[in-house]
Structure 1
Amino acid sequence: MNRRQLVKFAALTGVAGIGAGYWALPAGEVPGPLSLPGAQQLLIGLRDKPLLSLKGWSPAEVFNHCAQSIEYSLGGYPTIKPAWFRHSVGPLAFGAFAARGAMRHPLDEAIPGAAPLSAPATQALALERLLQAFADFASHQGELQPHFAYGALSHADYAQAHVLHLYNHLSLIRLA
């Protein structure tokens, strides 16, 4: 199989997988409105509440991870997928998530090249970091950096991606 056939095969199987995956996404209740203010209000409601993770990362690590994603959309991701991916499979995946109003991805997978999720270490400080990242993103007027997988996104699409990303991670967080 030559390179052109391989790329074509990867794109077609990716499209099929994304199409099938669309129907496997959760369709139930989301924890809050699918908007920046809705996500911010939900997070404010978590202040001073004891939280636990059902599996994987601690709540502090989840908040740091989600904050990193938002911060990288403003300043640039440390590592990005190849251009062919960011112009084919990545946007198709985001389109499926956006259409469904839900995201599903590995909840223990760090952003490629990202710093460790250990700072800040406390849940309270990590939550404040995340709230600040959302506030910085909401007020940002300049150009946004390409997403490491989805490629170039508008401010509105990035806002939706950040909210869906947060809500996917919050599916494993409960009040202690």
Structure 2
Amino acid sequence: MRRRTLLKGAALGGAAALGAGYWALPAGPRPAVVSLEGARQVLADLQGKMLQSIRGWSPSEVFNHCAQSIDYSIDGYPELKPAWFRHSLGPAAFAVFSARGAMRHPLDEAIPGAAALSEPADQTLALQRLQVAFERFADYQGALQPHFAYGALDHGEYAEAHVLHLYNHLSLIRIA
């Protein structure tokens, strides 16, 4: 009985925090429309430009991280959050991001169990890797793997998640 009460309290507290977080998310301009085409255009516009990060990961590491996330949605994430999280708080967080049209998450937090972000180290090659990942995802017709935190997402939801994820990371990248 105490466990159930504790879980209910945690869920209600998490929902309240997510609701409050909704209003804290940025509502300003995005680099482009929240779509695969919009993201692909943003990436195409970055080609050939010298980029720098204002803090945290280098542009190459950001591109590799975003590519990993896209690839894992097809191939499977190396580690998943517990099922209770993927069926409660994770989907609630994604619902907030989706409703707001913006994502905010720790921008230096690796995907659990993911490989190092060092390959490719070259910015141009890392950007190409990300562009290829978006192309692969856009063309993919099979079943998608559960997101490590959000749980089961369909292709449209995953596309939105990938684009919002990219745009959140690009908030720290500037043209040098």
TM-score by length of 2: 0.98
Q: CA deviation at 1:3?
A: 2.4
Give the deviation of 1:5 after TM superposition.
2.1
2: CA distance between counterparts of 1:64 and 1:161? 16
Q: Amino acid of the residue matched to residue 81 of structure 1? A: K
| Alignment gaps of 5+ in structure 1 | none
Q: Size of the alignment, in residue pairs?
A: 176
| Equivalent position of 1:150 in the other structure | 150
1:9 deviation in Å? 1.7
Show the counterpart of 1:75: 75
Partner of 1:90, secondary structure, is helix
Matched with 1:96 is 96
Residue 133 of structure 1 corresponds to which residue in structure 2? 133
Give me the CA root mean square deviation: 0.9
Does the residue aligned with 1:143 lie in a helix, a strand or coil? coil
- C-alpha deviations, 1:15-36, integer Å up to 9, x for none? 0000000000000000111000
C-alpha deviation, 1:50, in angstroms:
0.2
Aligned to 2:10: 10
Q: How does 1:22-61 map to 2 (within 5 A)?
A: 22-61=22-61
Return the alpha-carbon distance in structure 2 between the equivalents of residues 146 and 10 of structure 1: 23
Q: Aligned partners of 1:84, 1:168: CA distance in 2, in Å? A: 26
Among all aligned residue pairs of Structure 1 and Structure 2, give the percentage whose two residues are the same amino acid.
70
Runs of 4+ in 1 over 3 A off after TM superposition: none
- Residue 120 of structure 2 is matched in structure 1 by 120
